[in-house]
Structure 1
Amino acid sequence: MIETKAWYLSRTVWASLVTILLAIANYSGIAATGLPQDALTDAAVNIATTISGMIAIFGRLQATSRIG
């Protein structure tokens, strides 16, 4: 892992940012406000957060370049 790449080219960084944004939306109630199926919306946000976190982990494990 000698090569470097810009931070915005990293799948790990993007998946982590999505995870953070989804978590903030969920905790602040933005994700479910005003929607008729609040429980379904919460479940969808939680699933998306989980998938995004998994992408971050697998992205880091498969990385071939450093972020620089």
Structure 2
Amino acid sequence: MTEKKPWYLSRTIWASIVTIIAGAGGLAGLPVEHVDRVATTDYLLQIVTALSGVAALLGRISATTRLI
């Protein structure tokens, strides 16, 4: 495992975030037993991937130096 990737592309990180939020929601009294955590993690990962793509595109469009 020598490849590196940004933290926000890690399924493990997002699954952990969903688990923490679900646990906190349960403590706060919100009904979270019917939440599909795998689907929620995939959904969040798709959002993050789309947003990072938009950020990369906008960054390249607004860049002031050329790529070699």
TM category (shorter chain) comes to 0.3 to 0.5
From the CA coordinates, give the structure whose radius of gyration is larger: 2
| Higher normalized strand content (fraction of residues) | 1
TM-score scaled by length of structure 2: 0.47
Give the TM-score taking structure 1 as reference length.
0.47
